[in-house]
């Protein structure tokens, strides 16, 4: 069973629908015991970094997420969920992220002459080939974001893309996985990524 963390931050139902289409038992929850008993956990998210962290604290989910990480339960952050896994974001100065991984979230530079937010399909490159991308041939995925990850550790970066700057689009370390793009909106490629996550053993 996959627990999808509910903290009032968007795209939860689309993630659930994608998992159900794969035959996965999925539950949307903020219940501590349900989350900790799950085989895997997903932290989705659309919105602002500071507001999301406020909600996670309000629902007492920060400690639960750290417990998931500590126990080695496979954990996937999607879009804002990826950003929240790191230390800080330029979007919300002074707000502390979950700090599960080392890195910072920066605003996509406007001087590049590109539209912000970045909305649309981009191809991925793979400096390291992570478990989420095994068996995948089509590397186009769907992004919606104005801020991007710059991870501190190069060896955790599994996928990158270019949009005005080099974006760390997916990371993996131990039982922790994250995508800046939306696999649930990325057609068959995204479903394959989610299927890989479902079958990961750590």
Catalytic one among 118, 145, 168, 182? 182
Q: Is 182 noted as a catalytic residue in this protein?
A: yes
- How far is the C-alpha of 131 from the C-alpha of 74, rounded, in Å? 12
Helix axes 187-198, 12-21, angle to 10 degrees: 80
Catalytic one among 24, 79, 118, 172? 79
CB 134 within 8 A of CB 119: no
Q: Is 118 noted as a catalytic residue in this protein?
A: no
DSSP reduced 3-state for 187: helix
Instruction: Using alpha carbons, list the distances in angstroms from residue 14 to 21, 41, 46, 201.
Output: 11, 15, 12, 24
- How far is the C-alpha of 58 from the C-alpha of 117, rounded, in Å? 28
Q: Is 57 noted as a catalytic residue in this protein?
A: no
By C-alpha distance, which of 199, 179, 186, 180 is closest to 74? Answer: 199
Partnered with residue 168 across adjacent β-strands are 160
CB 81 within 8 A of CB 43: yes
Catalytic one among 24, 91, 172, 184? 184
Q: Is the peptide bond before 117 cis (omega within 30 degrees of 0)?
A: yes
Instruction: Catalogue the active-site residues.
Output: 79, 182, 184
């Amino acid at each position: 069973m996959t627990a999808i963390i509910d903290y009032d931050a968007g795209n939860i139902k689309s993630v659930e629908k994608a998992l159900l289409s794969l035959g996965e038992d999925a539950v949307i929850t903020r219940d501590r015991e349900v989350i900790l008993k799950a085989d895997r956990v997903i932290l989705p998210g659309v919105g602002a970094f500071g507001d999301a962290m406020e909600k996670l604290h309000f629902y007492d989910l920060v400690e639960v997420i750290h417990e998931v990480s500590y126990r080695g339960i496979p954990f996937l952050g999607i879009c804002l969920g990826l950003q929240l896994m790191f230390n800080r974001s330029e979007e919300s100065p002074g707000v502390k992220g979950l700090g599960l991984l080392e890195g910072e979230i920066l605003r996509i530079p406007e001087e590049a002459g590109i539209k912000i937010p970045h909305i649309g399909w981009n191809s991925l490159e793979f400096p390291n080939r992570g478990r989420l991308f095994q068996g995948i041939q089509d590397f186009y995925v769907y992004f919606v974001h104005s801020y991007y990850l710059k991870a501190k550790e190069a060896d955790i970066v599994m996928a990158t893309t270019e949009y005005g700057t080099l974006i760390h689009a997916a990371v993996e370390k131990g039982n922790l996985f994250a995508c800046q793009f939306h696999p649930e909106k990325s057609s068959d490629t995204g479903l394959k990524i989610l299927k890989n996550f479902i079958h990961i053993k750590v």
